[in-house]
Amino acid sequence: MDSVLVSACLRGVPCRFDGRDKASPEVDEAVEGRAVVSFCPEAAGGLPTPRRPAELVGGDGHDVLDGTARVVDDTGHDVTAEFIEGARRALVAARSGGCTEALLMPRSPSCGRGLVHDGSFEGKLVSGDGVTAALFERNGITVRSAPGA
């Protein structure tokens, strides 16, 4: 059976920064008939739920992996190490589950694909990928943003 890793918040787990989930019928339809590995990189990296909102500063997830950008919360606290650790653990989970594809939470500093928040905490979006999305792409896992999220 075809396996897909899905952001845990999209599967109804209340693990987002605000302590809520983002489950939607569109996500359920997108993964119907497939084996699903639900995973939250931010929780796996050691961050609590709820937690301060975080954004990418100085680039996107690829830049974070390259050491030229950071992830900080809205108080300025650097949470880069937790985001990288969570991404690494997500990759292990995806590989262990036989996943070749990931359906991830849009705009997230971990899971965003194509668009992420710009680091200003003003709701502005810029082109780029989250840390986990970037690590998946670098390791041959196809990343898609979840519909309806």
Residue 148: left if φ>0, alpha if ψ -120 to 50, beta else—which one? left
Distinct helix (H) and strand (E) counts, the chain: 5, 8
Band of pLDDT at residue 147, cut at 50, 70 and 90: confident
| CB distance 117 to 129 below 8 Å | no
Q: Global pTM? A: 0.96
For residue 85, CA distances in Å to 3, 35, 54, 80, 131 come to 22, 24, 15, 9, 10
| CB distance 5 to 97 below 8 Å | yes
Cβ partners under 8 Å of residue 50, min gap 6? 16, 17, 18, 19
CA 106 to chain centre: 8
Q: pLDDT (tens digit, 9 = 90+) per residue, 80-132?
A: 999 999 999 999 999 999 999 999 999 999 999 999 999 999 999 999 999 99
How many angstroms separate the CA atoms of 132 and 91, rounded? 8
**Structural domain harbouring 50:** 3-145
Q: How many domains would you assign to the chain?
A: 1
Q: Where are the alpha helices (DSSP H) in the chain?
A: 25-31, 41-44, 61-66, 80-96, 131-138
Q: pLDDT (tens digit, 9 = 90+) per residue, 25-80?
A: 999 999 999 999 999 999 999 999 999 999 999 999 999 999 999 999 999 999 99
Q: pLDDT (tens digit, 9 = 90+) per residue, 122-133?
A: 999 999 999 999
